[in-house]
Amino acid sequence: MRAVDIIAHKRDGKELSREELEFLITGYVAGTIPDYQVSAWAMAVFFRGMSPRETAALTDVMLKSGAVMDLSGVPGPLVDKHSTGGVGDKTSLILAPLAAALGIRDPMMFGRALGHTGGTLDKLESIPGYRTSLGAAEFKAILARDGFAMTGQTKEVVPADRLLYALRDVTSTVESIPLITASILSKKAAEGASALVFDVKYGSGAFMKEAAEGEKLARSLVHTGAAMGKTIIALLTDMDEPLGNMVGNFLEVEESLDCLEGAGLPDKDGSPPSTGPADLMEVTLELGARMAVLGGKAASPEEGRKLCEECIAGGKPRELFLRNVESQGGDPRKLLELRGKWRSPVSAEIRVPPGAEGAFIRRVDAWKTGRAAVVLGVGRDRAGDPVSPTAGIQFHRKSGAAVKAGDRIMTVWAAGEEGLAAALPQLEDAVEYGREPPPARRLILKEISGTTMEGPGQ
């Protein structure tokens, strides 16, 4: 085989064989096929797309380019959840102990924040002492004992993805749905789960800005997973506004604890919750309901959601969360002592500007909020940049709230004065006001599941 022929085949819209993909990717990892040829192939894929069969073969080749977690001996079911990234999205921190409390084991592998979306690894590392770099044996032992374990991706896991993603980033081929699918699924398959729930986000704060593009990615993940023998359910969810009331590493750990203690759940008489981030709980419970279905604990999403609500009310997920903190080197008592207190001393408030009497908050733009959070020190634009555990944003009012001049909208904490000064105008610009309340948001647009294979897609 020759790389130039493989490039030509894809340029001309042909379906590549597994052997061709294996030759190309294996050669790239080994250093025998140069960047410029893989760049040409990636651009051909960007324009020509890949069939589900082709995407599945690419995913499997990438998966087998490195180590795969061996979870034999760990009793199942093994079900994980993955989000395509958003602002204020801490659902993984809530779902892992919730799934474990339902009797589902969740092997969770994740990365650091890059750009405007947060990283679960950075959030967990804001807990004093918490270790996110686990060896395979320790990861397996914690998973078996606690019901879930959380670790960062190592260099040994899917090296093909690490190389290919860096190349796509500098060749304007990141937005290719087949390449995104292979990137996500190869890493999730490497962690050993047999079933997956995907939270595919769309909107200003998501990678996919339009619902139609988000749905294409969701269908690609579901169909490619089916071709690999994985059972997958995807939910298409709104990320046009930040999720929950907290954006920031330790702040989001705190909010996760709030959720595990029942904040945001309806009162027993069925009335709306008086406190807590209802939007965050809605997305979390719907994702948890699907994990319950895939784990064989519920026959339907409705039954799964009820189980999740009852489980949180019983307190076991909170207990497992704190047990995992201890298992991975953290101090649960220190965490609880710092809760509500550990903040950067550099802070400010954002209030409703003059002339806003009789107004409503129409929208809080997630992308603008996420970019401001990076400036504050919550995230990073380049791998290796430091992040602050105590920087972040707390929302006191969000879309739909009636406001008047002077009302407090946010409290903002920054790693330094310079970052605070730069972020405040961005956050002020993120809030949109109007004389009428906004229409109700539909947080869950649709569910995508099944094993039907479809034709070639972009």
187 catalytic per annotation: yes
Handedness of CA 322, 325, 326, 328 (dihedral sign): positive
**Of 48, 90, 112, 187, which one is the catalytic site residue?**
187
Write the single-letter amino acid at 124.
L
**Of 60, 80, 146, 161, which one is the catalytic site residue?**
161
70 catalytic per annotation: no
223 catalytic per annotation: no
**Of 48, 116, 162, 168, which one is the catalytic site residue?**
168
**Of 10, 48, 81, 82, which one is the catalytic site residue?**
82
The overall longest dimension of the chain from CA atoms, in Å, is: 70
Query: How wide is the angle at C-alpha 377 spanned by C-alphas 390 and 337, nearest 5°?
Result: 5
**Of 183, 186, 204, 344, which one is the catalytic site residue?**
183
Which residue's structure tokens are 């709306």?
272
Catalytic positions, written as ranges: 82, 161, 168, 183, 187
